[in-house]
Amino acid sequence: MKRLAFKMQLKPGYEQIYRQRHDAIWPALKQLLKNAGIHHYAIYLDPETYTLFATLELEDEEKYAALPQHELMRQWWDYMADIMETYPDHSPISTSLQEMFYLE
């Protein structure tokens, strides 16, 4: 199982909307992520900078890499684009983070 971490940027003032949308995440999207081998996916917010910090465990890198081509993933990105910093295709601007320490 591979661990990944990355950061994204929330637009100021949208904390509650972001939480509400994720509390009501589409069941089909949740299943798509599980089918891609994603486990223990968590997103944290730094309220001072509006930086979103995400971690997940991954079974299959190829399935994970294919997610951006899935229509449902693109629909979610479109849904979230008004409250996050995104690329022109509405995919979230994200920066991979390098693991420096892990205690099992």
Over the stretch 86-97, which tens digit does the pLDDT of each residue have? Answer: 999 999 999 999
Half-sphere exposure for 13 (CA within 13 Å, toward CB): 1
Percent of the chain with pLDDT over 70: 100
Q: Spot the catalytic one: 22, 39, 40, 70.
A: 22
Q: Do the domain assignments include residue 59?
A: yes
Over the stretch 69-91, which tens digit does the pLDDT of each residue have? Answer: 999 999 999 999 999 999 999 99
Number of domains in the chain: 1
88 close to 74: Cβ distance less than 8 angstroms:
no
CATH number of the domain encompassing residue 42: 3.30.70.100
Q: 76: burial class by Cβ within 10 Å (0-12, 13-18, 19+)?
A: buried
Mean pLDDT for 45-52 is: 98
**Residue 48: pLDDT over 90:** yes
Mean pLDDT for 29-53 is: 98
Q: Do the domain assignments include residue 17?
A: yes
Is 39 a catalytic site residue? no
* 54: containing domain: 2-96
pTM of the model: 0.92
| pLDDT confidence of residue 104 | 86
